[in-house]
Chains A and B, each alone.
Chain A
Amino acid sequence: MSAVSVQAIVGAAPSPIEAPDVDYATISPLLIILGAAVLGVLVEAFVPRAYRFVTQIAVAVVGVVAAFVATVVVGAGLDTVDGEVTGRGGPTAMGSLSVDGPAVVTWAMLLFFGLLGVLLFAERRLDGGLSAFTSQASTPPGSADERHATRLRIEHSEVFPLAMFALGGMMFFASANDLLGMFVALEVLSLPLYLMCGLARRRRLLSQEAAMKYFLLGAFSSAFFLYGIAMVYGYAGSFGLAEISTAVSSQIGGQNLLLAGMALILVGLLFKVAAVPFHAWTPDVYQGAPTPVTAFMAAGTKAAAFVAMLRIFFVAFGGARWDWAPAVWAIAIITMLFGAIASIAQTDVKRMLAYSSIAHAGFLLVGMAGLTSGDGVTSVSAVLFYLVAYGAAAIGAFAVVTLVRDAGGETTHLGRWAGLGKESPVLAVAFTIFLLSFAGIPLTGGFISKWSVFAAAWDGGAWPLVVVGVVASALALFFYIRVVVLLFFAPPQGDGPTVAVPSPLTWSVVAITVAVTIVLGVLPGPLLDLVQQAGAFVR
């Protein structure tokens, strides 16, 4: 590269390199989680095998809790910004991160999901004293080596640092303030998840296939995302969301470059949130991955990717709203209807929850059609609330899936769930509550979340989306109710399902998620206030 072109990139006059000025306190939650991840790697190398699993749990739990406390402290200390929009906090670390209201709320949400995920990962009572992860991933499924490893009770305790890296990536994704940072975050969150998907103890071939599919398709969609970033850079001459926003508003240069860039970035994000037609991986991966991992990524990935999507499209591309909004509308409609109708045909619990997750991506996209700021329900607050309510119910539902078992491990065929209400009324009631929340029945968190995204969209003038949304939720309700009837009223097949007795870890996850689902339905006030107070994105 010649000196001239380097100068063109850096600017007309070379300026002296400044030392980066980073406010470490503000980004401490992120640092704590990534620190816990690195510490976990060291634990893996130095702690004797007998203590490794327990030490890893301790490191992860302490890390998540410490990061949560730090998040609360950071959140309480954010300054209110009154500019064009009302918000809190602002860019930090040389503008590469934006620690604003929505970012802090998302951090807290992700850490909450992360804690629940770690508790599920740590469960060892269900499978004869071993975790849900394979003993040695390098052994071929069904081989003598695998049996040998199982007999030695070897375990992959690396899942904990992997989960911490993924969690750190998610938090980074939700708060990155430039496109390059976002790409790095996307990879940091995705790579560990690809790995973890392939680590199931039972049905290993299915699990490895899922990991392979997720990796290939994920890499494919990342390429779109990256190409989109390149095009937008070509248009705006910067990766920073604020600079892009200025460029978009002043309409410099070729619009085609911007439009194509936006479309490609959208593809990458829609893949992560599992919106139609970029959803195909979801059922296969949700089904194949170890169920605790499915729970963690269903809640976490969706939350991180949605907040990142709102941030990019509201902050950077806010000025071109009417260029991208119609596409989002169309995808929201297709996604809601497809998810709702396709779930009707499912016979596998995990696939059913996967299609339900697709439908929920559609409802969340409806929320994106609202206003970006104002007194009423804004897009950001509606989507944040929805993510909390959906994530809690999804983790809870998958936690229940881990408990319904037969000789071959988890039994996920819906027919085998018939009569669960007799076998374990408590578990069946818990699962019913999650389904009712997915369906959006009043007095569950799902109702308030549906109401808030619909209200936001209606305020934003997107009433056709609301009409389709109401119809789609009615369709979906029909299916959920059928499952409820199956649980309580259908005669059991054979001996019926057996419910494994878990340790307090899984029980506490189920109890916490049930409590959150109901509290968000009956007394949603505090959380609604919080997401409302979080204000708009600050660039």
Chain B
Amino acid sequence: MTSMSSIVLAASEHADVVPVAADGVFSWMWLLVAIPAVSAAILLIGDGAGDHGPLDRFGHLLGTAAAIASFVVGVVGFVALLGQDVAERAVTQDLWTWMQVGGFDVTMSVYYDQLSALFVLLITGVGSLIHVYSIGYMAHDPRKRRFFGFLNLFIAAMLVLVLAGDYLVLFLGWEGVGLASYLLIGFWQEKRSAAVAAKKAFIVNRVGDLGLALGIMLMFAQFGTTNIHEVGLNVTNASQSVATALGLLLLLGACGKSAQVPLQSWLLDAMEGPTPVSALIHAATMVTAGVYLVVRSAAIYDLSEVARTAVVIVGCVTLLFGAWIGCAKDDIKKALAGSTMSQIGYMMLAAGLGPAGYAFAIFHLITHGFFKANMFLGAGSVMHGMNDDVDMRHYGALRKLMPLTFITFAMGYLAIIGFPGFSGFFSKDRIIESAFATNFWAGLAALLGAGVTAFYMTRVMILTFFGERRWREDVHPHESPKIMTVPLIVLAALSVVGGALTFSDWIEDWLTPVTGSEHHELGVPAWVITLIIVAVVAVGASLAYVLFARRDVPDTAPQQVSVFTRAGRADLYGDAVNEAVFMRPGQYLTRSLVYVDGTGIDGAVTGTAELVGDGARGLRRLQTGFVRTYAAEIFGGALVLVLALLAVNLA
């Protein structure tokens, strides 16, 4: 990684941004958050008792209108930002002082700049489309109103996250999207698997949140501020090790939210939630928050090569890891989830390249938001027609019966594999090029990932839309209603033309003030790399064609398969590792403490009882209910305390 060290010198230009106070249109940016937040409050709290009140009949329309209104504000803000001078494109508006202690204060402020503007458009734009789609998808759900309330809550929290000018406010949004994600994964709580998945997502995310929380504490301790801009200024004067520690802690947070190895295991299970949720939260927006965090903290990562290298490694490992899982899954949503993991790996890899890659990370994040939301909604449309069966082995030959779903899905497919001219082609190509320019091995991993992506996406495509019909008896596939296909068409169009963002380097130039920029020269002309990528993609797609289109697809997954397939089906044993390393010791600990409190224990709260095993019988019960035991404990504690203090003196 010799060439990486030069980045440190080149990258300090973006620290010079001076935010200007908001006026005119920009003083209304708080509406972005306020509209969906108020709508969520109305939907979740208002009219609680009535089962068929007006809110139950029209609540979904209110929720959708709120998302669209927020999008309109976002567009107005974006247009206004285009009209500003480059030097005045970071706008900040202080709303109120959240807390102030001595010299430390945290302001609730809206920080609207080039980076947050793009995110606002993505979140509210894709969010609005998914709200519209959900009107159709959730039409028959009795708790529709609550669903839209949660979706609005998510939009509001996600906007708080990207509009935060202070890490502590960002943390507020970070927790908010986690909460919304938890509620939505477990939305069909009567399904046990959904409840378990929600819990898992929650716990794994807590591990990541610990990293972020400690990172923020460290900033506070080192710089006396948690304002993102000021931290960026202060960190340049701090020692290398502080920057590295901050970078690694933030990376831990990013890994949790963005389902990166080693905190990846929750994302596959999160597919238990309703499909629009998978599209919005677990593909297009929330899971990319980790990438946002890294790019937003560019000032920190610029100073620490170790932290950057860690980001690159996490990205590379995850992009291969997710692709591998994507190859082995028969559940269409899980195959797509593996792919999401892998594509976010690309973004992480790009973000880890420093100023050379930040813009491309965001570029890929946006195009991925389009085509992956498109494909998830397409998968939802297929499931809608197939009685909610998710097993691709039960699909086949759907292209004639669901023409719109097929065509739009195909656009997404061509985009994700990087077919020349489609959006994914441009964004992935840029990342692989910059990876090669920085480090050969990272480039190679990204290139290999592109081939595997083509392989597994072609497999999904063939199993679903081509070949023989393998439906169950009672299934009558049909095209989805207009309210669901229109969002698909819009997203498909965006998947095709999204690549236009990079024409004449628009997105790079746009983001330069935020992220800095840098260009590494490749040893070979760029078109050579492009050709190689296209060739690798073609090989991957052809291989899938030979394996799946030319042969019959068995109705149940074959058991006589290679070690690699088996590992992929088992999510590469991510759960097994978690269980051995975290769960077992945790269970033993709680079990022993259950014994500590011997009175009134008859099973855990949710009735999962059986906590009292035979093996633990030997453990001493400390909470016996006998005063003599308690007094003995106090006496023992006092003795230890006295002796400990005296020992300090003797030592």
CB pair B637–A442 under 8 Å, yes or no, is no
Report the minimal beta-carbon distance from A433 to chain B, rounded to whole angstroms. Answer: 12
Query: Smallest Cβ distance from A131 to chain B, in angstroms?
Result: 26
A517 on interface, CB distance cutoff 8 Å: no
From A154-162, A337-345, A502-510, give the one contacting chain B. A337-345
**Interface residue stretch chosen among B209-217, B273-281, B305-313, B483-491:** B209-217
> What CA separation (Å) do A524 and B601 show in the bound complex?
39
Q: Are B604 and A347 in contact (CB under 8 A)?
A: yes
Report which residue of A259, A324, A522 has the largest number of chain B beta carbons within 10 angstroms of its beta carbon: A259
User: How many Å from the CB of A474 to the closest CB on chain B?
Assistant: 5
Establish whether residues B99 and A459, one from each chain, have CB atoms under 8 Å apart when the complex forms: no
Is B581 an interface residue, CB under 8 A from the partner? no
Taking A264-B642, A271-B634, A474-B210 as contacts, is the C-beta distance between A347 and B649 under 8 angstroms?
no
Q: Scan A324-351; emit 1 where CB is below 8 A from any B CB, else 0.
A: 1011001000000010011011111001
The interface size of chain B toward A, counting residues with CB under 8 Å, comes to 68
**Can you list, as one digit per residue, whether each of B596-614 has a CB less than 8 Å from chain A (1) or not (0)?**
1101111111110001000
Closest chain-A Cβ to B216's Cβ sits at a distance in Å of: 9
Instruction: Kindly provide the distance from the CB of B156 to the nearest chain A CB, expressed in whole angstroms.
Output: 12
Name which residue of chain A comes closest to B213, CB basis: A470
Pairwise interchain contact A259-B606, C-beta atoms closer than 8 A: no
Q: How far is the CA of A254 from the CA of B605 in the complex (A)?
A: 53
Chain B: which residue is nearest A377 at the CB level?
B101
Which of B100, B103, B648 is the one whose CB lies under 8 Å from A528?
B100
A452 to chain B: which residues have CB within 8 Å?
Answer: 101
* Pair B623/A283 contact, Cβ less than 8 Å: yes
CB neighbours of B213 from chain A (8 A): 470
Question: In the complex, A172 Cα to B602 Cα: how many Å?
Answer: 42
Known contacts being A220-B634, A344-B590, is A478 close to B649, with CB within 8 Å? no
B214, A470: Cβ atoms closer than 8 Å: yes
Cα distance A381–B636 in the bound complex, in angstroms: 33
Partner of B220, one of A323, A441, A458: A458
Does the CB pair B630–A347 fall under 8 Å?
no
CB distance from A38 to the nearest CB of B (A): 33
Find the B residue at minimum CB distance from A376.
B102
Tell me what chain A mostly uses at the interface: helix, strand, loop, or mixed. helix
Contact call B214/A280, Cβ cutoff below 8 A: no
Is A264 in contact with B638, judged by CB distance below 8 angstroms? yes
A338, closest chain B residue (CB):
B593
A483:B605 contact, CB within 8 angstroms: yes
Please tell me which one of the listed residues A330, A342, A344, A455 contacts residue B104 in the complex, with CB atoms under 8 A apart.
Answer: A455
Contacts of A263 in B (CB 8 A): 638, 641-642, 644-646
Q: Is A297 an interface residue (CB 8 A)?
A: no
Among A63-71, A104-112, A119-127, A210-218, the stretch that binds chain B is: A210-218
Q: Say whether A180 faces chain B, with CB atoms less than 8 Å apart.
A: no
Q: Is the CB of B101 within 8 A of A220?
A: no
Query: How distant is A444 from chain B, measured CB to nearest CB, in Å?
Result: 11
List of A residues within 8 angstroms of B599 by Cβ: 284
Question: What's the minimum C-beta distance from B213 to chain A, rounded to whole angstroms?
Answer: 5
B56 within 8 A of A: no
Contact B601 A347 (CB under 8 A): yes
* B101 & A217 in contact (Cβ 8 Å cutoff): no
What mask results when residues 16 to 56 of chain B are scored 1 for a CB within 8 Å of chain A, else 0?
00000000000000000000000000000100110000000
Chain A residue at minimum C-beta to C-beta distance from B99: A524
Complex CA distance for A12 and B101, rounded to whole angstroms: 49
CA gap between A215 and B189 in the complex, in Å: 46
A463 within 8 A of B: yes
| A24 in contact (CB, < 8 A) | no
Give the chain A neighbours of B99 by CB distance below 8 A: 448, 451, 524-525, 528
- The yes or no answer to A374 lying at the interface (CB within 8 A) is yes
- Whether A213 pairs with B630 at a CB distance below 8 angstroms is yes
The binding surface of chain B is classed by DSSP as: helix
Among B101, B210, B220, B606, the residue within 8 A (CB) of A532 is B101
User: Which of A212, A280, A326, A486 is most buried by chain B, counting CB atoms within 10 A of its CB?
Assistant: A280
Q: Are B96 and A267 in contact (CB under 8 A)?
A: no
State A341–B596 Cα separation when bound (angstroms): 11
Q: Does A262 contact B (CB under 8 A)?
A: yes
Would you call A260 an interface residue if the criterion is a C-beta within 8 Å of the partner chain's C-beta atoms?
yes
Q: How distant is the Cα of A477 from the Cα of B209 in the complex, in angstroms?
A: 12
Q: How far is the CB of B166 from chain A (nearest CB, A)?
A: 12
Report yes or no: B590 in contact with A341, Cβ–Cβ below 8 A: yes
Complex interface: chain A residues within 8 A of B601 (CB): 345, 347
Complex CA distance for A442 and B157, rounded to whole angstroms: 12
- List, in ascending order, chain A residues with CB within 8 A of B98's CB: 522-525
Residues of A contacting B641 with CB < 8 Å?
263, 266-267, 327
Q: A259-B646, A262-B645, A429-B45 are in contact. Are A283 and B597 (CB under 8 A)?
A: yes
Q: Chain A contacts of B607 at CB under 8 A?
A: 415
Task: State whether the Cβ of A2 lies closer than 8 Å to any Cβ in chain B.
Answer: no
B623 near A280 with CB under 8 A, answer yes
Q: Does B387 sit within 8 A of A, measured CB to CB?
A: no
B102 & A277 in contact (Cβ 8 Å cutoff): no
Check A400 for interface membership: any CB of B closer than 8 A.
no
Check if A280 sits within 8 Å of B101, measured CB to CB: no
The answer to whether the Cβ of A278 comes within 8 Å of any Cβ in the partner chain is yes
Query: Looking across the interface, which residue of chain A has its beta carbon closest to that of B640?
Result: A277
Q: Residue A151 at the B interface, CB < 8 A?
A: no
Contact of B97 among A324, A429, A525 (CB under 8 A): A525
Partner of B636, one of A277, A425, A454, A485: A277
Q: What B residues does A443 contact at CB under 8 A? A: 172
CB contact list, A69-126 vs B, under 8 A: none
A281 CB within 8 Å of chain B? yes
* Cβ of A7 under 8 Å from chain B: no
Interface residue? A512 (CB, 8 A): no
> Would you call A478 and B634 a contact (CB within 8 A)?
no
**Chain A residues positioned under 8 Å from B602 (CB to CB):** 347
Cβ–Cβ contact B217 & A213, under 8 A: no
Q: In whole Å, how far is B229's beta carbon from the nearest beta carbon of chain A?
A: 20
- Shortest CB-to-CB span from B250 to chain A, Å, is 15
Task: Find chain A residues with CB under 8 A from B172 CB.
Answer: 442-443
A467 sits at the interface (CB 8 A): yes
Instruction: Check if B629 sits within 8 Å of A280, measured CB to CB.
Output: yes
Whole-angstrom CA separation of A274 from B99 in the bound complex: 30
A249-291: which have CB < 8 Å to B? 255-256, 259-260, 262-264, 266-267, 271, 277-278, 280-281, 283-284
A280 lies within 8 A of B633 (CB): yes
Within 8 A of A (CB), among B194-220: 195, 202-203, 206-207, 209-210, 213-214, 217, 220
Q: Is A471 an interface residue (CB 8 A)?
A: yes
Check if A474 sits within 8 Å of B209, measured CB to CB.
Answer: yes
Does chain B have a CB within 8 A of A481? yes
B171 in the interface (beta carbon within 8 A): yes
| A377: B residues at CB distance < 8 A | 101-102, 104
Whether A323 touches B102, Cβ cut-off 8 Å, given contacts A267-B641, A277-B634, A463-B221, is no
Interface check A190, CB cutoff 8 A: no
Residue of A nearest to B224 (CB): A376
* Interface contact A474-B206, CB-CB below 8 Å: yes
Complex partner residue of B103 from A264, A375, A474, CB under 8 angstroms:
A375
Assuming A441-B175, A458-B221, A524-B98, what are 13 further A-B pairs, CB within 8 angstroms?
A283-B597, A326-B644, A338-B593, A344-B593, A345-B597, A425-B49, A442-B172, A452-B101, A454-B217, A455-B217, A470-B213, A474-B209, A523-B96
In the complex, 21 of the A-B residue pairs with CB atoms within 8 angstroms, ordered by the A residue number, are A213-B630, A224-B638, A259-B642, A259-B645, A278-B634, A278-B638, A281-B630, A323-B645, A345-B593, A347-B600, A347-B601, A348-B600, A374-B102, A375-B102, A442-B171, A442-B175, A448-B99, A451-B168, A474-B209, A485-B606, A525-B99
- A residues contacting B by CB (< 8 A) are 212-213, 216-217, 220-221, 224, 255-256, 259-260, 262-264, 266-267, 271, 277-278, 280-281, 283-284, 323-324, 326-327, 330, 338, 341-342, 344-348, 351, 374-377, 381, 414-415, 425, 429, 441-443, 448, 451-452, 454-455, 458-459, 463, 466-467, 470-471, 474, 477-478, 481-483, 485-486, 489-490, 522-525, 528-529, 532
Minimum-distance CB pairs A-B, first 7 = A277-B637, A280-B630, A375-B102, A263-B642, A442-B172, A259-B645, A267-B638
